[in-house]
Structure 1
Amino acid sequence: MPISDLVEVLGLSVAWLSKVENGTRRTDAGNIARLLGFYRADQATVDRVMSLHADPRDWFVGCGHGPGGVDELAVLLRHEAAAREVFAYETVSVPALAQTPVYGRAVLERNPLAVLGEVEQRTEARKRRQRVLSRPSRFVFVVREMTLRNLGVDRRTASDQLRHLALLPNTGRVEVRVLPRLMAGSYLDRYSFTLMRSEHYRPVVHVDAMYHSVFLDHPDDVAAYQAAAQAVLSNTLSVEESQALILHLANGAHAVASRTG
């Protein structure tokens, strides 16, 4: 039904409704009930939505992972596809969107509970997920120097991954920043997270925890993670310095692989 009908019947304004839908304006239980009634929501939906409104702490969504893992998580894919800005910081691996298939498979196989079929499914899901990099969006990937020096894979795989990472900025849409060893270790850079901003959703933070993901969109939570992102970025090398370091490490790994291969 056209939005004009809704605002006419309920006596609302288009601007008010737009702000509520975008999460930039709160409203009361009465207006929420009126909207649910207008859309003829079923009782289960009414109960769930009203309970969310009643509990102001419930500004997050928790999702379990299926066989495809986080790479097939619909809510994550939806936010990544809509995002105009993505900031991803990883503490122990290369960010998923920047992984080569071979390196990504090796990371997934580290899980002692990994099943071969699920590893292959998630590897393919990650490759599909990475198509988002072709969108006209801005991506900032931050990775620790300590991680780059010890990727936990064979030298040839490490060399290929490092070269891929170094070349990503050439697309013009991706920044790769390295957090040097001497700058790592503060409280704010201990935990991996992704911050996404889009035109259609409130800013959202994604935190992956092995078998579950948490999505936070409370303004206070987002502001805290935004501050963490700025703190991390303030200690990284520039894009050019990062690229030079990554290529240096890639050449070193390639040389060792050539001697021992």
Structure 2
Amino acid sequence: MLGDELRRQRESRGYTLEQAARVLRASISKVSRVELGVSPAKPRDVHDLADFYRLSREERAEIEQLLAQATQADLYDLYADVTPRYLVRLIRLEQQAKEVCVWDPRVVPGLLQTPAYARAMVEAADLGLSSTEVGRTVDLRLGRQRELNARKPRFEALIDELVLYRLRGSIEDMIEQIDHLLQAPDHYKVRIVSPEAPTSPSPVVHLKLVDGAHQEVAYVENLNSAIYVTKKPGLDRYRQLLTRVRDLAMDRKESIEALKKARKHWESKLAAVSSEH
């Protein structure tokens, strides 16, 4: 469907396969394979063609939706062996979300993890995975991040400040992770919550959806399972939980200062280790 739409937009504007290929700096056969659905379309190529075709806002929205569906299918196909069944529905929901809010008092949320931090987290879970499976699990997490970045829903992460001081991987990995949070894109809101704030110890993901049978869903993950809450009483309870955490969270300026303070902490640790050697 994505290939058909790209072909229709190209032909309706009178462009040839050769012209589209020049935009992508690719061969004519590659563009043809993408339009026929034989080869997967890379998000960057789709965005470059959308710019070249000067698509309207409505046309771009349709293309983005088809792209999300196509890449979502690719994720299932590529990582089915390391995707827990309970996680499949969350990945689908992320592709329909217009707003995502995550509260996690334990770790940096997966959708904001760097590769090194994600690997440390997967290894710490001690699930008996091989090195290859660990790498594929990390790749799956990064794939979800890329898809979310392509769609640009409103994303809010509420992170306990203690998480910034809990070593995951190496000291260098922690510095890299904090830098990643400091450099989060504009459509991401990262807010830090003081450990002194009386918050709930339960992590939760709340999603507001573009369409579907349910307009909002709360996701609560346990060690080897997850609960999806769609009924009003449960949703009200988790919505109130997140509202309380938001009310207690630092504002943007305070959050940036908290992140910088944590970065200095790890920098001093790194300097101390270096001086010992």
Cα distance, 1:151–1:134 mapped onto 2, change above 3 Å: farther
What residue is the counterpart of 1:92 in the other structure? 106
Any gaps of 5 or more consecutive residues in structure 2? 1-78
How far apart are residue 67 of structure 1 and its match?
4.5
Aligned twin of 2:134: 119
Please say if residues 86 and 226 of structure 2, whose CA atoms lie closer than 8 Å, have aligned partners that are also in contact: no
TM-score, length basis structure 2: 0.65
Q: 1:192 to 1:96 in 2, by over 3 A?
A: same
Map 1:1-261 to 2 at 5 A: 67-69=81-83, 73-116=87-130, 117-131=132-146, 132-168=148-184, 171-184=185-198, 186=199, 189-201=200-212, 202=214, 203-261=216-274
Give the aligned partner of residue 14 of structure 1: none
State the 1:73 CA deviation: 3.1
Deviation at 1:134, TM superposition (A): 3.2
Paired residue total: 192
How big is each residue's C-alpha offset from its partner over 1:217-252, in whole Å with a ceiling of 9 and x where there is no partner?
A: 111111111000000111010122111210221133
Q: Distance in 1 between matches of 2:145 and 2:208?
A: 17
1: CA distance, partners of 2:173 / 2:202: 25
Q: CA 1:159/1:252 → structure 2, altered by over 3 Å: closer, same or farther?
A: same
- Report if the CA contact (8 A) 1:71-1:126 is conserved: no
> Once the 2 structures are TM-superposed, how far is the Cα of residue 70 of structure 1 from its aligned partner?
5.1
Percent identity of paired positions between Structure 1 and Structure 2:
21
Distance 1:152 1:182 in 2: 22
- Kindly tell me: are residues 258 and 135 of structure 1, through their superposed partners in 2, closer, same or farther at Cα, counting changes over 3 Å? farther
3-state SS of paired residue (1:87): strand
Give the Cα–Cα distance (whole angstroms) in 2 for the partners of residues 136 and 150 of structure 1: 29
User: Secondary structure, in 3 states, of the residue corresponding to 1:112?
Assistant: coil
CA distance in 2, matches of 1:133, 1:114: 31
Change (3 A) 1:239 1:68: farther
Between the aligned partners of 1:226 and 1:97, the Cα distance in structure 2 is 20
Which 5+ residue runs of structure 1 have no aligned equivalent? 1-64
Distance 1:85 1:251 in 2: 32
**4+ runs of 1 displaced by more than 4 Å?**
none
Letter of the aligned partner of 2:255 in structure 1?
A: S
* Greater relative contact order (Cα < 8 A, sep 6+): 1
Are the aligned partners of 1:141 and 1:176 in contact in 2 as well (CA < 8 Å)? yes
Moved more, 90-99 or 67-76: 67-76
Moved more, 225-234 or 206-215: 206-215
Residue 237 of structure 2: SS of its match in structure 1?
A: helix
Distance (whole Å) between structure 1 residues aligned to residue 134 and residue 223 of structure 2? 14
